[in-house]
């Protein structure tokens, strides 16, 4: 079971902005970590923009899961895990992180949509470390009862989340956030992996 990243975003009216991101990409080949990081932020933004306010989703893509929670105030958490990691624990982690983030960073700061530099520094990696083993995380119990009542929408592919007529290939091609190297990697991975999407490792 593995968590790879944790991203905090603000869901604006027309786009999603990354406020903070943390990664643990040690299981991924050193030479592919930059590409993996680009795809994580790219996917986090796409899924945030296409998740309703107040909703939770877990989206399967290749051998990964992308878990998304958009709060009522548009503050959003996205984490990436492998398939074995329980979605309910991932959503407990997201609720905890967003609660702590909102407690330290003012709403005025995160609605501006810029990366938050002065506050919440270096704090996402400790959450990733603490929640790597869901069985050991003592933090799960506090929010578990709330989540038992919450519906998490599960999707088998990112395509299932996209709006009608949208294609992931087109979004990758148009993206200014992805380097040419990452776009080429995506196309190669798609050809070699028939179930595919963003197979990073």
Domains: count for the chain = 1
Q: Does 57 map to a domain? A: yes
What residues of the chain score a pLDDT lower than 50? 194-201
**Per-residue confidence (pLDDT) for residue 73, from 0 to 100:** 95
**Per-residue confidence (pLDDT) for residue 57, from 0 to 100:** 93
Q: Where are the alpha helices (DSSP H) in the chain?
A: 33-49, 87-104, 107-111, 124-131, 140-148, 168-174, 180-192
Q: Which residues of 157-195 are buried (b: 16+ CB within 10 A; e: fewer)?
A: ebeebbeeeeebeebbeebeebeeebbebbeebbeeeee
Determine which helix (DSSP H) or strand (DSSP E) holds 20, and give its type and residue range: strand 16-23
Q: Does 28 map to a domain? A: yes
Q: Does 199 map to a domain? A: no
Q: Residue 26 belongs to what domain range?
A: 3-192
Q: Does 125 map to a domain? A: yes
Q: Does 201 map to a domain? A: no
Q: Does 62 map to a domain? A: yes
Q: Does 139 map to a domain? A: yes
Q: Does 200 map to a domain? A: no
CATH code for position 113 = 3.30.450.50
Distance, in Å, from the CA atom of 37 to the CA atom of 181, rounded to the nearest integer, reads 13
Q: What is the DSSP string of 171-182?
A: HHHH-SSS-HHH
**Per-residue confidence (pLDDT) for residue 200, from 0 to 100:** 44
**Per-residue confidence (pLDDT) for residue 114, from 0 to 100:** 83
Query: Is the pTM here over 0.95, yes or no?
Result: no
**Per-residue confidence (pLDDT) for residue 101, from 0 to 100:** 93
């Amino acid at each position: 079971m593995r968590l790879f990243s944790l991203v905090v975003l603000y869901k604006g009216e027309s786009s999603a902005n990354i406020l903070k991101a943390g990664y643990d990409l040690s299981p991924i080949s050193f030479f592919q970590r930059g590409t993996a990081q680009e795809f994580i932020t790219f996917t986090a933004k796409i899924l945030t923009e296409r998740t309703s306010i107040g909703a939770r989703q877990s989206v399967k893509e290749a051998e990964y899961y992308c878990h998304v929670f958009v709060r009522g105030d548009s503050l959003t958490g996205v984490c990436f895990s492998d398939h074995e990691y329980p979605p309910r624990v991932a959503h407990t982690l997201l609720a905890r992180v967003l609660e702590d983030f909102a407690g330290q960073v003012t709403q005025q700061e995160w609605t501006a949509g810029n990366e938050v530099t002065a506050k919440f520094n270096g704090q996402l990696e400790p959450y990733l470390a603490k929640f790597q083993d869901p069985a050991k995380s003592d933090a799960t119990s506090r929010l578990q009862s709330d989540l038992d009542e919450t519906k998490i929408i599960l999707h088998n592919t990112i395509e299932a989340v996209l709006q009608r007529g949208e294609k992931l290939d087109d979004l990758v091609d148009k993206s200014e956030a992805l380097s040419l190297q990452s776009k080429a990697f995506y196309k190669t991975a798609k050809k070699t992996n028939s179930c595919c999407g963003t197979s990073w490792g």
